[in-house]
Structure 1
Amino acid sequence: MNDQQRALEILQRLKPLYSDSPCPLNYETPVQLLLAVIMAAQCTDERVNQVTAELYSKFPDAAAIASADPAELETILRPLSFFRNKTKNIQATSKMLVEQFDGLVPQDINQLVKLPGVARKTATMVLHYAYGIDAGITVDTHVKRLSSRMGFTQQTDLDKIEKDLMPLLPQSEWGNCFVFLTYHGRNVCNAKKPGCSTCTVADLCPAAVK
Structure 2
Amino acid sequence: MNARRAGIILNMAKNVKKLTLANKLAKRGDVIKPTEIISRQNRADNVRDIEDLVGAAGSSSSIYFSPIRTRKQRQVNGESLKMEPLKMESLKKEPLSPTRVPPKKNKKVDHTVTKIQVGSATVVKCKVVQEAAESPIMTDKIKKEMESQIKQELNIQESLEALKTVKTELVNQLDPNLYPEVQAPHPLWYNHLENIRIMRNSKTAPVDTMGCHRCADSKADAKTQRFQNLVALMLSSQTKDQTTFEAMNRLKDRTLTPLKLKEMPVTELENLLHPVSFYKNKAKYLKQTVEILMDKYDSDIPDNIKELVALPGVGPKMAHICMAVAWNKITGIGVDVHVHRLSNRLGWVPKPTKEPEQTRIALEKWLPFSLWSEVNHLFVGFGQTICTPVKPNCGECLNKDICPSANVEVKPKKKRDR
Scaled by the length of structure 2, the TM-score of the pair is 0.47
Could you tell me which residue of structure 1 aligns to residue 216 of structure 2? 27
Of 6-15 and 103-112, the range deviating more from structure 2: 6-15
The answer as to 2:184 corresponding to 1:3 is: yes
Pick aligned residue for 2:383 from 169, 181, 185: 185
The answer as to 2:195 corresponding to 1:13 is: yes
Pick aligned residue for 1:64 from 255, 260, 281: 260
Conservation of the 8 A alpha-carbon contact between 2:337 and 2:356: no
2: CA distance, partners of 1:126 / 1:18: 22
2:328 maps to amino acid = G
Scaled by the length of structure 1, the TM-score of the pair is 0.89
Conservation of the 8 A alpha-carbon contact between 1:124 and 1:136: yes
Count of aligned residue pairs for this structure pair: 210
Give the CA deviation at 1:187: 1.2
* Larger RCO (CA within 8 A; separation ≥ 6): 1
1: CA distance, partners of 2:200 / 2:322: 18
2: CA distance, partners of 1:105 / 1:130: 9
Conservation of the 8 A alpha-carbon contact between 1:63 and 1:95: no
1:30-56 CA distance string (max 9 Å, x none): 211211111122222211211111112
1: CA distance, partners of 2:381 / 2:276: 23
Give the CA deviation at 1:197: 2.3
What secondary structure does 1:204 align onto?
Answer: coil
Could you tell me which residue of structure 2 aligns to residue 129 of structure 1? 325
Conservation of the 8 A alpha-carbon contact between 1:10 and 1:201: yes
Give the CA deviation at 1:22: 5.1
Conservation of the 8 A alpha-carbon contact between 1:137 and 1:174: yes
2: CA distance, partners of 1:81 / 1:115: 19
Give the CA deviation at 1:80: 2.2
1:144 maps to amino acid = H
Pick aligned residue for 1:110 from 286, 289, 306: 306
Conservation of the 8 A alpha-carbon contact between 2:210 and 2:241: no
Larger radius of gyration: 2
Change (3 A) 1:171 1:2: closer
2: CA distance, partners of 1:209 / 1:79: 34
Give the CA deviation at 1:2: 5.2
1:14 maps to amino acid = I
1:100 maps to amino acid = K
Please, what is the CA RMSD of the aligned residues?
A: 2.3
1:50-71 CA distance string (max 9 Å, x none): 1111112213212221232223
Pick aligned residue for 1:143 from 317, 333, 339: 339
What percentage of aligned pairs have identical amino acids?
27
Give the CA deviation at 1:17: 4.3
Change (3 A) 1:138 1:23: farther
The answer as to 2:365 corresponding to 1:167 is: yes
Conservation of the 8 A alpha-carbon contact between 2:210 and 2:242: no
Could you tell me which residue of structure 2 aligns to residue 78 of structure 1? 274
2: CA distance, partners of 1:57 / 1:121: 27
Conservation of the 8 A alpha-carbon contact between 2:309 and 2:316: yes
1: CA distance, partners of 2:317 / 2:396: 30
In structure 2, stretches of 5+ residues that fail to align are 1-181, 218-224, 409-418
Give the CA deviation at 1:23: 5.7
What secondary structure does 1:79 align onto?
Answer: coil
Conservation of the 8 A alpha-carbon contact between 1:144 and 1:158: yes
Give the CA deviation at 1:117: 0.4
Conservation of the 8 A alpha-carbon contact between 1:18 and 1:179: no
Give the CA deviation at 1:184: 0.8
Give the CA deviation at 1:98: 1.5
Give the CA deviation at 1:9: 3.5
2: CA distance, partners of 1:80 / 1:174: 28
1:78-122 CA distance string (max 9 Å, x none): 322322211111121122111111211222111100001001011
